[in-house]
Chains A and B, each alone.
Chain A
């Protein structure tokens, strides 16, 4: 079904729905005493991380291991990359070792797509620069669908540093593709003027938005943006676009709050919000593993696990595992 997973732009509603449905089967594996299926036995998945990211790398590693794939972790620090090896050479070295899929995290936008030019292996984008982080959006869609029961028609507010956020691009496109009404909000310095072309609306007025928000998605705001004059101080940012107890109270009762982590408590979010009952932040982390299992399975599992049937026929991993 999926050759490479590079961007939410590449997925239509049917494909997203299929990934989420498949993930539901995998979610329940985590509840078993033996949290493992043999689906990807004999396949090798490489986590190629040019940026530090403990949570994403760990999530992918667990996802691959629960599918019985062999995993190897390759981080730029302390490796041949720190000795000046190019992405092309690194990629071709990994391919020569026979990896079937490369999960890449890179600080440069487009690095995952560039990687596809160098290797035959499947490429899964685990975050590239400011560009895309598709599995983050998929796990967010999964989490909201699980808690709210639907995606179409929801009012989603994505708040914060949209300009520098790969999460924002993936999340806005993902929710819009699934039929939600998306509004992005933040200081004008951090919202691209062309954001409406992503299928969303733009406002700078968070308070005007809260009462009609079903899903409040808070983006990480890095403190270094302050020194680059995108806003004057984290205190002022928190006052105008941060969410604390008061703003949380103005959300509708059923509204949920998401954050991709890691949080800057005191800037975009306060401790009360992060720990509120309607904050789904730990559920996002839990679901991340199932969603990444789903993506790896759909990219790698189909041909080998069920050669007689197209993978799109297998609705859940349970069925596949049962065969």
Chain B
């Protein structure tokens, strides 16, 4: 349904107390109209006999940035890895509950984790470019997934992806150089370009800026800000300030529980749970 049609349909007609209809932006109407990207119900993750996540119920919006925060060991990275089945790669790890992506259970037997990971890309704490050229780093995914058959198409994907990652101008004359020759911040953006190249719907980021200096961090955050219009981004960060700057929704995890999940503004101005308040203000709980 088109945004205007949604607004005109009367399904979403926010009004002022005086009864005047508030005009929604097209984007907002879309955001309200579409189903969440992920619906998680009673999600539990076990490492052997230990339950690391105790039944998480949470929806992740279709676009925008959701930040997962909490002290070390709270389960936020475990939860992040649920979305692209990265926990499958950990021996003894077991996931129960429903994780629906666009209504489809991603833990269903018919789902191929490799294809899932093309739809749900991931960026790690330390940039991990392949030991290949800048070009081949970005071209790798489209090649193995057969997204481009002609050289020109592949060139275009590489250029567009590097442009979206805000790296094109810095590397366009040195595409044959090894990816590892770039600076830390550039490598992190290269990895994002690599993730974008296979046209994912979701980008998961696990502490993506913790190894970057403030300028590289700012460039990365600017990139996240641009990408959030088109992608669903879920980011784990230990930096409260970063969560506050880049996300629209923030979830606070503590000892394997989802304690509080709300608009980022609410979490940082007026959190409802004492444990959230203690954590984000740096108090002993």
Question: Are A and B subunits of one complex?
Answer: no
Using a CB–CB cutoff of 8 Å, the interface residues on chain B facing chain A are none
